[in-house]
Structure 1
Amino acid sequence: MTKNYATLLFLFCLSVFFTFPVAAQSTTGTIKGSVIDSATNKPIDLMTIALKRDHAVVKTMVVNAAGNFSFEKIAPGQYTVTAIAIGYPAKNVSVSLTSGTADLGSILMVSQSNNLKEVSVTADRPLIKQEIDRISYDIQADPESKGLTVLDMMRKVPLLSLDADDNIKLKGSGNYKILINGKPSTMVARSPKDVLRSMPASSILKIEVITTPPAKYDSEGLSGIINIITSKKIDNGYNGSLNLRYQGPVGGPGMGGFVTVKQGKFGMTAYGGTGFYSSPQTESSTTRTTTGDLPTTLISKGTRRFDNNYRYGGVELSYEIDTLNLVTMELNPYGGYNKSYTSQLFSLTDGNKNIGYNQLGRNRFGWNGFDATLNYQLGFKGHKDRLLTFSYKNGNSGNPLENHLTFLDRANFTDPDFNQKNNSRTKEQTLQLDYIHPLKSITIEGGIKGILRTNKSNFEYESLNDATGQFQTDPARTNKFNNDQDVIGAYNSYAYNLKEWGFKAGIRAEGTFVKADFISAGSNVNTNYFNLIPTLSVNRKFKDMSSLNFGYTQRIERPGIDNLNPFVDRSNPNFWTTGNPELKAVLSNNFELTYSKFKKGSINVGLSYRFANNTIQNVSVYNEEDKITRATFFNIGKDKALSTNLNINYPITSKWNVAMNGNIGYIWIQGAIDGQMTKNEGLTGRAYINTGYKFEHGWKANASATFEAPEIQLQGQTSAFFFSSFSGSKEIIKDKLTLSAGVNNVFSKFRYYTTSTQGTNFTQNYRSQNYNRSFNVSLNWRFGKLKDSIKKNQRGIDNSDVKKSSTSGS
């Protein structure tokens, strides 16, 4: 089968290349002209010119230093020339080419302020844009966005990747923050993949990877920030989209969409969806070998299936009182659950006796919550670009967990059947004040912020009383835990722009006050600390449409409730996991150097280095007395990472595009476990390639492949894996109704994911089987018509300040 696919791919490429000499034999002509600013009469930097025929882009180019462009060897016919640049509305010029040269002369462009994000000619937009402190990926410019989920699109974004369990990584690290429209959302705080795999990509405008976050952002996220932009500039009238999809055999049905409405001074943007993600039964195994006075061997084999559901929503209401006063409100409800059913056979041998049992487990992890945000933006008469914004946010979320374990076929095993429950909740209030003051060539920003956060956990352990047949609470394994974390912050930043240079610099001061109470045990832990966080970004533009960016910042990783919670998860009697309420924050130093060039295509090359002391590490220790491996978190790590990344996007022809991105790096980790220094190091990285072809009559095809190198951990590493995808789409009604279908990993039914862990007296290996091959089909419908733009707050709350959970929802 592999040979047949390779043959088809070769013939496809061959057929495209053989079209070149055929086209060259016909009579051709030239379309040329120039573009200048109507006010200054000077050429415009980075002006992109697109040549269209029958609404399809034939060729694109960037004007030269004099503002001139020339399309050569063009077949006779009717064409449209579209000129696009940041800060200018797109301009279309019709031209009829018979033979020879069609000279359009000078095309005058009228500057339009505040238009950085509003270029709306989808076919002409570049997929990737490098800014002074971030890289953005234009989801709406990608044809596959109408058939994939937001989680699927993460594989395409430079610097982002998915591991074998679909957990999102930024430069290979899980230490990052996710924002929705520049603001925090508890909806994606715990396990973002669970929500993003149910969110259609058609409801997303773009994804930003902020590698050097400016001072206005909270300092949390060691590797950076992922900002998902859903809000769109909308006009008087309405528009929206609806997406229906199905994926199998792992996955299920799902639906999602968005709608925007604008009428006079009132505007509304709403989005939402739901989806099911289920898997048929798969296998897993664990082996553990220990040394010491009484060596043991543990073997566990079993099966697992799961059924998950996700629900999310959001609405933003906007009312423009007048040209200087704006009020907006955001509401975000969400919920869902993960249910799993397990059957595990355990065998533990120490040379003298064998302990064995069959464990049946029913597990349910849920989440629910509601966020409400109110913003008031004040402009100043005569200086409308000076803005003062007041923001208030109230968030409430819950994460109930239940495990029900039954033991059968016991051999020398006396532990009772038991239930364990952990009901954790987070309540958060935020007050924020921001001010922006643009001058002639410099922009000054400043603000203050206060976060009052309360985390609560009520965990309970119930064991079966054989005499009564009832479950009874065990007070020794039951407790109530409260954690109050208050953060007070202030920032000041400056942006200075010259013709060839751009600078961003700022500093953020943050004080953190933590109080942890073990209510049942009558004990507490208090921790306070203060940080000054600098940030610097420098951009140098060159005449060949290229630029060089340098960035430096410090980042903080504060432990979240899942890292702090002392609840002991005993759902696997041989492997316990728990949090550590004495964890402290981690400070990281990050350096970035990036070269970008945009001409016919785009290329980004980056080099980064980061180091941090006292990092939070997940540590496993084996106890010889009770033969249990316990995993928890400690501030023992010392990390260094040096990596380089490459992204290339190149249109081979007007219909055939190729994109590649990847990174390779080397990581060093060390930390003291039980007084003994543990070290690990190694290569890590990924490679991704995608190719897409646009056929006639609205047909499109895409193919992609990804390779992920092993993840290096303090006590071991994971396995590498490969991912492939083939998809196609058909526009049934132009720009309205699109049908898409695809298949993932057609060459292998299952993927096997392994994790190896070593300690001073043990070695253990975990191997899980996941469904690899899957198919999906989706239907995407766009509707509505727009005219005038809605006004939105330019500042808001962004609580990106706590470590997200590393738990998996599937």
Structure 2
Amino acid sequence: MKAMTSYKSQIASLITVVLLLICFTLNAQTPKQPAIKDTLSSKIQQLKDIKITGTRPIIKQQADRIVYDLQLDPESKGNSVLSMIPKIPFLSLDASNTILMKGKSDYRIFINGRPSSMLERNPTEVLRNMPASSIQKIEVITNPSSKYDAEGLAGIINIITTSAMQNGYNGSLTLAAQFPVQGFGPGGSYNFKNGRLAIATYAGINTSRVPEVSSVLSRTSTGNIANLLTQQGFNKSNGRSAYAGSEISYEVDSLNLLSAQLNINGSNTDGHVSQLSQLQEERSLLQRYQLNNDNTVKGDGWDAGVNYQLGFRHHKTKLLTFSYRYYTFDNIFSSNVLFYDRFHTDEPDYRQDNKDQYKEQTAQIDFVQQIDKVSIEAGIKGILRNNEGNSMNTPGEANLFNNNQYIFGAYNTYAFTLRKWSVKAGIRLEKTIVDANFISTATQANQQYFNLIPTVSFFRKINLQHSINFGFSQRIKRPGINKLNPFVNRSNPNFETSGNPDLKPSLINALQLGYSSTKKLSMNLSLDYSFVNNIFIQMAEFNPQSQITRVTYQNIGKTAGISANFNFSYPFTKSWNIIVNGNGGYLWLDASNNERLTKIKIFTYNTTLSTGYILPRNWRLNASATVLSKNITTLQGTSNGYLRSSFSINKDLIKNKLSFSAIFLNPFHRYRENIITTADINFLQINNTRENFRNYNLSLNYRFGKLKEPLKKTRRGIKNDDLSN
């Protein structure tokens, strides 16, 4: 009780300090500007008309982000947002179409500067049929400022649907089909404005079909007597999902602005898994069984938020914003596992039913003001989260838990221009409280910690075509509920996986140096260095007596890495261009496990070469190739590299109205061998999964309507970019 009273008083003191800061800044007077006398002559000299021509760059470098304007890229007219990702600096796709940012999967995705439940769990499915023509630009925020939550490593991807909504209406509709993998997926957007009221909507439906995927796992023990475990399996699935999102904005008057958003999504996937498992000692069979697993996964979620922005009549640069957001989702998993052809095993058949529920409430106050050349931002924020899990199987095993996480934060940032430099610096204070009760194992995880997180970025525009930037930031990596839960998952009898309730967060330190050029040879370069102490790592241990491999997480290591990220674009002619986008890095990891020191040093790279050529009658041909090196999966594991290719053709059938696109993915490889190798002192394990790789995509995109006159949007809102699992 004393600890609870203590942290409540700490939070109250923190909020009081920030509110006093906001009140003080609200009362600050902006310096008055001297009156300007009209010194112009009454005679007016008529000048000849001057015509200024030029082209806007597709890519812009700012102090903390790269901005890619999709509307200026002709390929966006017939493609999805997902297919455009490999062209955007510092972004890439892996073999499973998972988006990577600087080669990492630890980032958040926003829509119009706010989180969306549509993209919380499986952004690939949503972006796969979201028409790129409905997106204005994508911001890759590589050095998030102090106004963003401190969780994360790589940064934030912000998808901006429209630059400015205007009187009238417009929209787009895309019909896409992929085969033999995936399926049919229509998607679209609609924008409407009348006077002070504006509404923006977007929606889509996905059907996903994954044909039979085969896998072979072999684990060899390296003790005095070598045992060999082999597991051969097949799995396939069919799924359906849908999403819809909307934003509404109403300008009460010049000083008061209301906005709200609502997003909903749902999915349903049916899968089948079959497996043959055999354990041998030399040539003697020790154990064998076969299993069939029919499973169903259902998920649905929604989020809603409201924002109120207040302006000040005599201080136009002052803005005060109040925001609230509620977010929830449910996941229901059911499986029926049947064993047969048993030999020296008594594993019982079982049925498993899981239901996980997640709820989140967020309240936030933001304040901004411009004083002379200094832009000031300050705010406070509170996030209240609750996870509940209820898992039961017929033999009587249960996984019940209740997890509460509270994060209270306050930030203050300053941005100003100093001669030729633009500087943005800030600090964020966060208090984290974790109160997790793992009922099934009678275990608790109670943690409290403060973090003071600084960020700073410098930007200099050398001239109209060249700029440099530098940044430093600290970020927090908090363990999510799956990494904390000590429940042991034994769905595969030869393997056990569990979390660790004693895991502690890791603090990430990152330095970034960037250069941008918008000449004919456009380039965006970034050199990054980061280091982490007390990092939590997944590790595997093999028990020779039980013949079981146990996988869990531990804070046992420290890591550092240096990486180079690059994007080059060059138009050889008006009809032909080439783009090189990728990254390469060197990573070293030191970990101490069971008094054994493990040192890992590895060089990784991910590079995409793409080119486009405009044919007569505005047909456009595009081709790309991506090469990805091997990578680290766990403390003892690595995955193999791969090569992927893509060829496409698109055309405006009706200029700026109707476009067609056809994409041929990986024509030279029908399957991909995904090989994960895990090696330790007691065992060597190789897991080879054979996935469908070749695919076809056809799509039609129709755009309609016309807009006039811009509409205001709130400049601040809730951005929960701290969540991980």
Supply the AA of the counterpart residue of 1:749: R
In structure 2, distance between residues paired with 1:637 and 1:449: 32
Aligned-pair CA distance for 1:275? 0.6
Number of the residue aligned with 1:200: 131
Number of the residue aligned with 1:158: 89
CA contact (8 A) 1:681 1:712 kept: no
Secondary structure in 1 aligned to 2:125?
helix
Secondary structure in 2 aligned to 1:787?
strand
CA contact (8 A) 2:131 2:701 kept: no
Supply the AA of the counterpart residue of 1:707: V
CA contact (8 A) 1:378 1:388 kept: yes
Question: How many equivalent pairs are there?
Answer: 678
Aligned-pair CA distance for 1:293? 5.0
CA contact (8 A) 1:684 1:712 kept: no
In structure 1, distance between residues paired with 2:652 and 2:471: 42
Secondary structure in 2 aligned to 1:196?
helix
In structure 1, distance between residues paired with 2:436 and 2:147: 28
Are 1:141 and 2:72 matched, yes or no?
yes
Aligned-pair CA distance for 1:197? 2.6
List alignment gaps of at least 5 residues for structure 2.
1-35, 37-46
Number of the residue aligned with 2:31: none
Number of the residue aligned with 2:11: none
Choose from 446, 450, 473 the match for 1:553: 473
CA contact (8 A) 1:481 1:518 kept: yes
In structure 2, distance between residues paired with 1:761 and 1:730: 58
Are 1:442 and 2:374 matched, yes or no?
yes
Number of the residue aligned with 2:182: 251
CA contact (8 A) 1:389 1:434 kept: yes
In structure 2, distance between residues paired with 1:399 and 1:680: 37
Number of the residue aligned with 2:16: none
Number of the residue aligned with 1:635: 555
Are 1:687 and 2:604 matched, yes or no?
no
Aligned-pair CA distance for 1:628? 1.7
CA contact (8 A) 2:217 2:685 kept: yes
Number of the residue aligned with 1:783: 704
Question: How many percent of aligned residue pairs carry the same amino acid?
Answer: 46
Number of the residue aligned with 1:117: none
In structure 2, distance between residues paired with 1:568 and 1:199: 39
Structure 1 671/363 Cα, relative in aligned 2: closer, same or farther at 3 Å? farther
Are 1:707 and 2:627 matched, yes or no?
yes
Secondary structure in 1 aligned to 2:57?
coil
In structure 2, distance between residues paired with 1:527 and 1:270: 41
Choose from 381, 387, 390 the match for 1:455: 387
Are 1:372 and 2:304 matched, yes or no?
yes
In structure 2, distance between residues paired with 1:612 and 1:604: 26
Are 1:792 and 2:713 matched, yes or no?
yes
Secondary structure in 2 aligned to 1:608?
strand
Aligned-pair CA distance for 1:546? 0.5
In structure 2, distance between residues paired with 1:602 and 1:126: 9
Further displaced range: 640-649 or 667-676: 667-676
Number of the residue aligned with 2:351: 419
Number of the residue aligned with 1:225: 156
CA contact (8 A) 2:92 2:582 kept: no
- C-alpha offsets along residues 750-787 of structure 1, whole Å, 9 cap, x if unaligned? 11111111122111111111111111100000000111
Supply the AA of the counterpart residue of 1:425: Q
Are 1:210 and 2:152 matched, yes or no?
no
Aligned-pair CA distance for 1:302? 2.2
Supply the AA of the counterpart residue of 2:718: I
In structure 1, distance between residues paired with 2:148 and 2:569: 30
Secondary structure in 1 aligned to 2:252?
strand
Supply the AA of the counterpart residue of 1:541: K
Number of the residue aligned with 1:607: 527
CA contact (8 A) 2:445 2:502 kept: yes
Choose from 252, 259, 279 the match for 1:328: 259
CA contact (8 A) 1:198 1:310 kept: no
Choose from 634, 650, 663 the match for 1:742: 663
Are 1:646 and 2:583 matched, yes or no?
no
CA contact (8 A) 1:397 1:425 kept: yes
- C-alpha offsets along residues 24-52 of structure 1, whole Å, 9 cap, x if unaligned? xxxxxxxxxxxxxxx9xxxxxxxxxxxxx
Aligned-pair CA distance for 1:521? 4.8
In structure 1, distance between residues paired with 2:162 and 2:465: 29
- C-alpha offsets along residues 262-293 of structure 1, whole Å, 9 cap, x if unaligned? 00110001111011121221211111011335
In structure 2, distance between residues paired with 1:300 and 1:147: 43
Secondary structure in 1 aligned to 2:491?
strand
In structure 2, distance between residues paired with 1:521 and 1:768: 33
Structure 1 315/244 Cα, relative in aligned 2: closer, same or farther at 3 Å? same
CA contact (8 A) 1:596 1:603 kept: yes
Structure 1 606/152 Cα, relative in aligned 2: closer, same or farther at 3 Å? same
Number of the residue aligned with 2:115: 184
Matches within 5 A, 1:114-125: 124-125=55-56
Choose from 692, 716, 719 the match for 1:771: 692
In structure 1, distance between residues paired with 2:80 and 2:268: 19
- C-alpha offsets along residues 643-696 of structure 1, whole Å, 9 cap, x if unaligned? 112211122122222111111110112222334222222110111111112233
Choose from 656, 664, 676 the match for 2:576: 656
Number of the residue aligned with 2:637: 716
Matches within 5 A, 1:455-474: 455-463=387-395, 474=396
In structure 1, distance between residues paired with 2:614 and 2:623: 12
Are 1:316 and 2:281 matched, yes or no?
no
Secondary structure in 2 aligned to 1:396?
strand
- C-alpha offsets along residues 594-645 of structure 1, whole Å, 9 cap, x if unaligned? 1111122411121100000122212122222322212222222311110112
In structure 1, distance between residues paired with 2:482 and 2:59: 35
In structure 1, distance between residues paired with 2:482 and 2:443: 19
- C-alpha offsets along residues 283-333 of structure 1, whole Å, 9 cap, x if unaligned? 111110113355310111122212122211110011110010000010011
- C-alpha offsets along residues 345-373 of structure 1, whole Å, 9 cap, x if unaligned? 11111345421122211233332111010
In structure 2, distance between residues paired with 1:159 and 1:108: 33
- C-alpha offsets along residues 9-34 of structure 1, whole Å, 9 cap, x if unaligned? xxxxxxxxxxxxxxxxxxxxxxxxxx
In structure 1, distance between residues paired with 2:173 and 2:514: 38
CA contact (8 A) 2:570 2:579 kept: yes
Structure 1 337/760 Cα, relative in aligned 2: closer, same or farther at 3 Å? farther
Are 1:575 and 2:507 matched, yes or no?
no
Number of the residue aligned with 2:9: none
Secondary structure in 2 aligned to 1:786?
strand
Number of the residue aligned with 1:235: 166
Number of the residue aligned with 1:585: 505
CA contact (8 A) 1:441 1:498 kept: no
CA contact (8 A) 1:324 1:384 kept: no
Aligned-pair CA distance for 1:106? 4.3
- C-alpha offsets along residues 59-89 of structure 1, whole Å, 9 cap, x if unaligned? xxxxxxxxxxxxxxxxxxxxxxxxxxxxxxx
Supply the AA of the counterpart residue of 2:135: I
Number of the residue aligned with 1:696: 616
CA contact (8 A) 1:557 1:802 kept: no
In structure 1, distance between residues paired with 2:243 and 2:534: 36
Secondary structure in 2 aligned to 1:722?
strand
CA contact (8 A) 1:698 1:734 kept: no
Are 1:673 and 2:593 matched, yes or no?
yes
In structure 1, distance between residues paired with 2:226 and 2:143: 49
In structure 1, distance between residues paired with 2:445 and 2:292: 37
In structure 2, distance between residues paired with 1:215 and 1:540: 20
Aligned-pair CA distance for 1:144? 2.5
Number of the residue aligned with 1:467: none
CA contact (8 A) 1:615 1:636 kept: yes
Structure 1 147/634 Cα, relative in aligned 2: closer, same or farther at 3 Å? farther
Number of the residue aligned with 2:63: 132
List alignment gaps of at least 5 residues for structure 1.
1-38, 40-102, 110-120, 464-473, 805-810
- C-alpha offsets along residues 368-419 of structure 1, whole Å, 9 cap, x if unaligned? 1110101000011032332100000111112222232111222222101112
CA contact (8 A) 2:436 2:444 kept: yes
Structure 1 363/623 Cα, relative in aligned 2: closer, same or farther at 3 Å? farther
Are 1:731 and 2:652 matched, yes or no?
yes
